[in-house]
């Protein structure tokens, strides 16, 4: 592995920002002004980090293979899918058992059955939302993760610790969502600034988890799968099942206390576990410059 080049890393990072910020700004304008359908506007926004990363790598002469296209171990891929499902299930079942939220499976069943034009059994509902919704969400999730975990994480990891890298990427990733949260429709029903704060904590914790997945696999795919799984089970599964009221707005969803706490606990556990193992070098992660 070539030695880390601080100037090269800094210039590459600035090149990325120079490309990414206009793309991100344009995508937000398109979404907020509703120039495209919501689905296409989301695709445009979510691919802005990936497109910026790929263009930066081409301009800087960085091999595209360093994104980490190989899938890595099956164990880490399964962890990418299973961790958001486990976290969401523990949270929502726990909140429902404590009487803090109300879950209504009939609402999810009705929504999926209406979309497919057929009345489906509970098992089929869970299978469809856990596979089809996940697969539809994987492409836009990959667009983001090419930028965040495929490019930016190994770029910063060549000079910083895994935790510091996670926090830097997490701050950028959180800020990337702020226009939609503050100016658009991407928010809950509670206090907007409290939601922004809790969402930021959740994103920082997710960034730590996904950096661990990247380091354990040297692949972008576990992070992309984690991202798609999170969106699937939070937005397409437990979201429709949750009766919306003041309590659910405070405790549940991406803007509530619950996911921020659960992911933070999971992130701390993964960092502790990582420290007990042999430290993964930037060679395994794939230093870019």
In a domain, 185, yes or no: yes
Q: Which domain holds residue 117?
A: 6-285
**What does the block give as tokens for 250?**
């405070």
pLDDT of 117 higher than 90: no
Percent of the chain with pLDDT over 90: 78
Q: What is the pLDDT of residue 263?
A: 98
- Using one digit for the tens of pLDDT, what is the confidence trace for 57-99? 999 999 999 999 999 999 999 999 999 999 999 999 999 999 9
Q: Are 252 and 242 in contact (CB under 8 A)?
A: yes
Query: Domain total for the chain?
Result: 1
- Using one digit for the tens of pLDDT, what is the confidence trace for 182-201? 999 998 888 999 999 999 99
Q: What is the pLDDT of residue 281?
A: 41
In a domain, 241, yes or no: yes
Pairwise CA distance, residues 15 & 11, whole Å? 6
Convert 241-263 to b/e letters by CB count within 10 Å (16 or more is b). Answer: bbebeebbbbbbbbbbbbbbbbb
pLDDT of 287 higher than 80: no
**What does the block give as tokens for 116?**
């497919």
Q: Are 242 and 96 in contact (CB under 8 A)?
A: no
Q: What is the pLDDT of residue 129?
A: 85
Q: Higher confidence at residue 286 or residue 248?
A: 248
In a domain, 1, yes or no: no
pLDDT of 214 higher than 50: yes
pLDDT of 1 higher than 60: no
pLDDT of 134 higher than 90: yes
pLDDT of 253 higher than 70: yes
- Predicted TM-score of the model (pTM): 0.92
* Contacts of residue 278, Cβ cutoff 8 Å, sequence gap at least 6: none
**How would residue 282 be classed by pLDDT, with cut points 50, 70 and 90?**
very low
**How would residue 162 be classed by pLDDT, with cut points 50, 70 and 90?**
very high
DSSP state for residue 237 in the 8-state scheme: I
Q: Which residue's entry shows tokens 């503050």?
A: 182
Map residue 242 onto helix, strand or coil.
Answer: strand
């Amino acid at each position: 592995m070539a030695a880390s080049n601080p100037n090269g890393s800094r210039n590459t990072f600035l090149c990325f920002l120079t490309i990414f910020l206009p793309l991100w700004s344009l995508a937000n304008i398109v979404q907020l002004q509703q120039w495209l359908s919501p689905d296409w506007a989301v695709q445009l926004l979510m691919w802005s980090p990936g497109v910026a990363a790929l263009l930066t790598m081409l301009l800087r002469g960085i091999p595209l293979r360093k994104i980490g296209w190989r899938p890595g171990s099956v164990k880490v891929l399964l962890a990418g899918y299973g961790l958001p499902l486990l976290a969401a299930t523990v949270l929502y079942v726990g909140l429902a058992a404590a009487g803090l939220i109300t879950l209504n499976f009939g609402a999810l069943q009705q929504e999926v059955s209406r979309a497919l034009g057929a009345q489906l059994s509970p098992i089929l509902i869970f299978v469809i939302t856990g596979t089809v919704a996940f697969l539809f969400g994987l492409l836009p999730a990959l667009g983001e993760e090419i930028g965040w975990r495929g490019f930016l994480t190994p770029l910063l990891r060549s000079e910083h610790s895994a935790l510091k890298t996670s926090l830097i990427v997490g701050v950028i990733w959180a800020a990337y969502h702020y226009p939609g949260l503050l100016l658009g429709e991407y928010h809950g029903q509670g206090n907007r600034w409290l939601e922004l704060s809790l969402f930021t904590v959740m994103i920082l914790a997710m960034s730590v988890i996904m950096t661990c997945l990247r380091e354990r696999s040297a692949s972008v795919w576990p992070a992309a799968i984690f991202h798609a799984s999170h969106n699937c089970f939070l937005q397409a599964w437990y979201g429709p099942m949750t009766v919306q009221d003041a309590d659910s707005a405070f405790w549940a969803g991406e803007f509530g206390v619950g996911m921020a706490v659960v992911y933070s606990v999971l992130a701390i556990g993964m960092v502790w576990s990582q420290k007990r193992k042999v430290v993964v070098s930037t060679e395994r992660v794939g230093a870019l410059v």
